[in-house]
């Protein structure tokens, strides 16, 4: 990996902090990445001083619209940022907190809102938040993904999280996927623009799950490989290629797989049981993490092996990563550190689009020594990095 220098000057323009980065670039030559404060904050607990990163915290679409959750000590609210303005999306009637998890290129936002009787899924569009409905005997409904057709993949569970049911919302109604209500459970993980949904069905035990594909109203078991006890799918691209994990009889992961053209194959890596597949793009590139580093894999071979944690992969093959509590972007073998806001010392890149726009967080982590155990808390700003030509 080539190390790239980071230097520059911070200025304030119309309330937006911009920090220029010079040195190597993953986007183009003769320019640098700049950071913009979007005006939303997050207060997050931090394990041992590490930046808490979750891919569902923030999302960005191809129009540059950003969604996420602005958090304070007293409340959490879903937000939409677009064209320089931050909008609080509010809550469902009778609700308290809300959180946004995804946005499609039409500006449709999905998320959750907490109500007295449980958690409900919402769809926000054209200034209106819509409750996506309830499911009998399920208290919590969580949307997972939305495609360009406005179809929403979701999951319903009870308060104890010990009984899950895969759902899809389309044409104004929520319906179950797979079998009618029974002892069998199911869960969704991703949906593509063809309306294909992947996840698993089986039992709550990891070893009792089988990777599944739902399309055109039918469910297909993707099976498992010899020696594996079970499997579950985690992502699907527009070509119908599916990635996921195999499981063993001890309810542990035993290696990643790829399913394509009706056949499941192992993604062969060193110590395969530790690699977690993150995403697959339409090129067939797969980003994976093992807790110590990340890999970009395609067509039976490793294209790149780097340090840190990969957080997103786009169709151009760019990867956002976090290394040592600092945000970076990788492309074509080169890694570039993304600048933080002035005064901040930690951050994370979380999501990116195809237009050289990356969304993430920049902030500080403070230690609290007042109790018997040291507690860490991070105070972050939601930021947008954009490529600026020289």
Give the model confidence (pLDDT) of 317-356 as tens digits: 999 999 999 999 999 999 999 999 999 999 999 999 999 9
Read off φ and ψ for residue 207, nearest 5 degrees: -70, -15
Per-residue confidence (pLDDT) for residue 6, from 0 to 100: 24
Per-residue confidence (pLDDT) for residue 244, from 0 to 100: 97
Per-residue confidence (pLDDT) for residue 28, from 0 to 100: 46
Per-residue confidence (pLDDT) for residue 204, from 0 to 100: 64
Instruction: Confirm whether pTM is higher than 0.95.
Output: no
Give the model confidence (pLDDT) of 129-159 as tens digits: 999 998 887 889 999 999 999 999 999 988 6
Q: Using 70 as the pLDDT threshold, list the residues of the chain that sit under it.
A: 1-29, 55, 159-162, 178-183, 204, 250-251
Per-residue confidence (pLDDT) for residue 183, from 0 to 100: 56
315 CA to centre of own chain = 15
**CATH number of 40-325+370-377, picked from 2.130.10.120, 3.40.50.2300, 2.60.40.10, 3.40.109.10:** 2.130.10.120
Domain ranges of the chain: 1-39+326-369+378-390, 40-325+370-377
């Amino acid at each position: 990996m080539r190390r790239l220098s980071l230097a520059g000057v911070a200025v304030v323009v119309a309330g937006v902090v911009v920090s220029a980065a010079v040195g190597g670039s993953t986007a183009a030559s003769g320019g640098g990445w700049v950071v913009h404060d979007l005006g939303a904050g997050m207060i997050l607990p931090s394990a041992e001083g590490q930046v808490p990163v979750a891919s569902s915290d923030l999302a960005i679409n191809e129009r540059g619209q950003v969604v996420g959750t602005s958090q304070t000590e007293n409340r959490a609210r879903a937000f939409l940022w677009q064209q320089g303005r931050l909008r609080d999306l509010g809550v469902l009637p009778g609700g308290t907190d809300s959180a946004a998890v995804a946005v499609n290129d039409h500006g449709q936002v999905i998320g959750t809102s907490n109500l007295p009787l449980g958690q409900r899924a919402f769809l926000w569009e054209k200034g209106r938040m819509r409750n996506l409905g309830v499911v009998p005997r399920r208290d919590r409904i969580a949307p997972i993904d939305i495609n360009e057709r406005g179809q929403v993949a979701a999951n319903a569970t009870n308060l104890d999280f010990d009984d899950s049911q895969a759902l899809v919302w389309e044409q104004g109604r929520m319906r179950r996927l797979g079998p009618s209500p029974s002892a069998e459970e199911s869960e969704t993980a991703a949906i593509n623009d063809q309306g294909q949904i992947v996840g698993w069905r089986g039992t709550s035990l990891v070893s009792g799950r089988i990777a599944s594909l739902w399309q055109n109203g039918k469910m297909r078991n993707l099976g498992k490989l010899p020696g594996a006890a079970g499997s579950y799918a985690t992502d699907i691209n527009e070509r119908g290629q599916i990635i996921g994990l195999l499981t063993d009889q001890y309810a542990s992961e035993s290696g990643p797989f790829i399913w394509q053209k009706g056949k499941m194959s192992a993604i062969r890596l060193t110590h395969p049981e530790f690699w977690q597949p993150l995403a697959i793009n339409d090129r067939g590139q797969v980003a994976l993490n093992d807790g110590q580093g990340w890999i970009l894999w395609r067509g039976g071979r490793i294209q790149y092996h780097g340090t840190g944690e990969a957080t997103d992969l786009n169709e151009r093959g760019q990867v956002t990563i976090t290394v040592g509590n600092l945000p970076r972007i990788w492309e074509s073998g080169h890694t570039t550190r993304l600048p933080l806001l002035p005064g901040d010392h930690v951050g994370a890149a979380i999501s990116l689009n195809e237009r050289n726009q990356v969304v993430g967080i920049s902030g500080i982590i403070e230690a609290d020594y007042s109790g018997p155990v040291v507690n860490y808390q991070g105070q972050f700003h939601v930021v947008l990095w954009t490529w600026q030509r020289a």
